[in-house]
Amino acid sequence: MTFKSKRQIHSGQATQVEFDDNSVLARIVGPHNLHLSEIERRLEIAIAHRGNRLVLQGPSTSRAHGAQVLRDLYAYALAGHEISSSDVERAINLGLGSESVAAKSGVFATPKRVISARTPGQARYIEALTHHDLVFGLGPAGSGKTYLAVAAGVALLSRGAVDRLILSRPAVEAGERLGFLPGDMKEKVDPYLRPLYDALHDMLPGDQIQRRLDEGVIEVAPLAFMRGRTLSHCYVILDEAQNTTPQQMKMFLTRLGEGSRMAVTGDPTQTDLSPGQMSGLAEARDVLAGVEGVATVELQEEDVVRHPMVRRIVRAYAAHDRLKAAPPGARRQPG
């Protein structure tokens, strides 16, 4: 990708970075200078917005870092991405996808947008989804494990590599049972499946989604509906798989038919199963380790691409869990 943000002028304690497209630059600046303020705070520099230029003041090393962050964000926005607070944080910490991570990792082309890796972990996940028949994507909320799996399926469906896209979740969570919920079966299960519909709407026009649902080309269904079926020539996703029992997981995995591929996603730390009940996701990960055609990618807190607060929440809970698991004598006492 080429773009015109070439001229960088050094003058005393200031660095100017000039961009050609003011509308793209406005997305970098953010509403009420939100994104610039975050860069200023994190890098301890001052940034002035003057027309199509951004003027950076501060230590030379910080100015150079800031200028690179701005160029990365500009390239990312120029590729058609919206800029979020998490994108700004990622650009500061790791560099951004369109000129670095994503260029090396591959993308999924869907009818509404091109979806690329935003972190090195996501790049590994896309690589696995591209080249393996069965992929386990494990990780915390917001790490892209479900979203990228749906993107892989939509991309394959759109280019005719599979005939159907099937998305499934366990429909029983947090102790609830469908029989006690109001409405018909669709009304009972749709709230559990809503995140899958949301991902689809990000990648396909609404009329296409409804038409393909009506035709059975796309199916969104609870896990119980998979029993007894053979799923051939399709891409199958099981989301929230940490809430399956070992028996349910084995049932699902053995549905795989000719010409099909599967992605199984979940967060092993967030199970809603009864205390003491083993998760089918944890068991399958161990049982199938090393089996040909199977890949497991474990995304981390660094791969969380939601609001920056989500990453901090994930980190805090991980530290809390480590503390609970430590022997009593090893726990730090409050001073």
- Residue 7 banded pLDDT, cuts 50, 70, 90: very low
Q: Are residues 162 and 256 in the same domain?
A: yes
Note down the domain range covering 272: 107-323
Tokens representing 185?
A: 């079966």
Q: Are 285 and 109 in contact (CB under 8 A)?
A: no
Q: Are residues 81 and 119 in the same domain?
A: no
At residue 329, the pLDDT reads 65
Q: Are residues 170 and 40 in the same domain?
A: no
Does 139 reside within a domain?
yes
Q: Are residues 188 and 67 in the same domain?
A: no
Does 102 reside within a domain?
no
Nearest 5°: CA angle at 72, between 68 and 73?
A: 115
Does 3 reside within a domain?
no
- Given 93, 127, 162, which residue is the final one in a domain? 93
Q: Write a three-state SS string for 145-214.
A: HHHHHHHHHHHHHHCCCCCEEEEEECCCCCCCCHHHCCCCHHHHHHHHHHHHHHHHHHHCCHHHHHHHHH
Q: Are residues 56 and 144 in the same domain?
A: no
Q: Looking at residue 312, which CATH number applies to its domain?
A: 3.40.50.300
Q: Are residues 205 and 79 in the same domain?
A: no
According to DSSP, residue 235 is labeled: E
Encode pLDDT of 26-58 as tens digits.
999 999 999 999 999 989 999 999 888 899 999
- Given 63, 93, 123, which residue is the final one in a domain? 93
Whether pLDDT at 234 is above 90: yes
Whether pLDDT at 10 is above 60: no
Question: 41-45, 47-51, 113-117, 249-253 — which one is most confidently predicted on average?
Answer: 249-253
Does 329 reside within a domain?
no
Whether pLDDT at 92 is above 50: yes
Does 100 reside within a domain?
no
Q: Is the pTM of this model over 0.85?
A: no
Whether pLDDT at 12 is above 60: no
Question: How far apart are alpha carbons 271 and 246 in whole angstroms?
Answer: 13
Q: Looking at residue 77, which CATH number applies to its domain?
A: 3.30.1370.10
Q: Are residues 84 and 228 in the same domain?
A: no
Phi, psi of 319 (to 5 degrees): -65, -40
At residue 183, the pLDDT reads 53
Q: Are residues 234 and 187 in the same domain?
A: yes
Q: Are residues 12 and 34 in the same domain?
A: yes
Q: Are residues 44 and 117 in the same domain?
A: no
Q: Are residues 79 and 117 in the same domain?
A: no
Encode pLDDT of 151-199 as tens digits.
999 989 988 889 999 999 887 543 445 554 455 555 555 676 788 889 9
Question: How far apart are alpha carbons 133 and 261 in whole angstroms?
Answer: 5
3-state secondary structure of 312: helix
Does 48 reside within a domain?
yes
Percent of the chain with pLDDT over 90: 41
Q: Are residues 77 and 221 in the same domain?
A: no
Q: Which residues 6+ apart lie within 8 Å of 31 measured at CB?
A: none
Tokens representing 180?
A: 């006690």
Q: Which residues 6+ apart lie within 8 Å of 276 measured at CB?
A: none
At residue 247, the pLDDT reads 94
Task: Write down the H helix ranges in 222-307.
Answer: 246-253, 280-287
- Residue 65 banded pLDDT, cuts 50, 70, 90: confident
Question: How far apart are alpha carbons 241 and 137 in whole angstroms?
Answer: 10
Does 41 reside within a domain?
yes
Does 334 reside within a domain?
no
What total number of domains does the chain contain?
2
- Given 35, 61, 93, which residue is the final one in a domain? 93
At residue 236, the pLDDT reads 97
